[in-house]
Amino acid sequence: MGFRRGFRNILCSCLAIVLAGTALRAPAAAQSSSSSSLSSHVKKSAPGAGSPLDSGVVSAGVYRNPAFGFTCKIPAGWVLRTEEMNTRDDEDTSGQPAKGAAGQAGRVLLAAFSRPPEAKAEDVNGSILIAAESAAAYPGLTEAAQYFGPVVEAAKAQGLEIDDDPYQFVIGTKKLVRGDFQKDVGTRVMLQSTLVMLGRGYVVSFTFIGGTEDEVEELVEGLSFGTPKSAR
């Protein structure tokens, strides 16, 4: 099965932001940010023109995506970088806009960070990254576990190692596949858990990053599933 680079580029960008924000001190200039706040309702920008992908909305600190039938809680005070992440992915390595359908290979539905990515500090910048790609981009893809090829590739590109083989993980009545990763960052450890599901012709991935197992598990517990709305 030949995997495209959509998810790899998205996750690598997110991990690079998290790793770049881990330093010994936080410059004063970095403390001010024009990032979106969770104190107001935030509507996600739609993906590329003509795409049927539902980008979902953020309201009252919760991201909701009725089409895929899930919600995800965003901790108070976190900042959103969804539009910026999509802009990064829509550019090729030369910094120019991607041509053709490349920009639609993968779309970020939600990118949230515990502090502005440009603000450096000693602790790991907690993160939530939810992305979706068309399953048609992966010929032969029939189950979520197969998608861990690009997941592992992206993690290893940033120095993370998988703890064990991906395994089935159940949230409510929804069955997903989960993989756990870690990396030493100075005197600290960065932990990542990525969950994957297939639905409505898409591969949807949920990546949670934190500095402790408790932090990551608390983020994972904020993900819940309900009954998705029927397609229009």
Q: What is the distance between the alpha carbons of residues 146 and 140, in angstroms, rounded to a whole number?
A: 9
Q: pTM value? A: 0.77
Give the structural domain span for 152: 6-22+54-225
The CATH number linked to 147 is: 3.40.1000.10
| 27 contact partners, CB below 8 Å, separation of at least 6 | 119, 120
| Nearby residues of 100 by Cβ (< 8 Å), 6 or more positions away | none
Count of CB atoms situated within 10 Å of the CB of 60: 11
In a domain, 171, yes or no: yes
Chain segment 128-173, per-residue pLDDT in tens: 999 998 898 888 999 999 999 888 888 888 889 999 999 999 999 9
d(CA 42, CA 80): 9
Residues 166-196 have pLDDT tens digits of 999 999 999 999 999 999 987 889 999 999 9
Q: Report the domain count for the chain.
A: 1
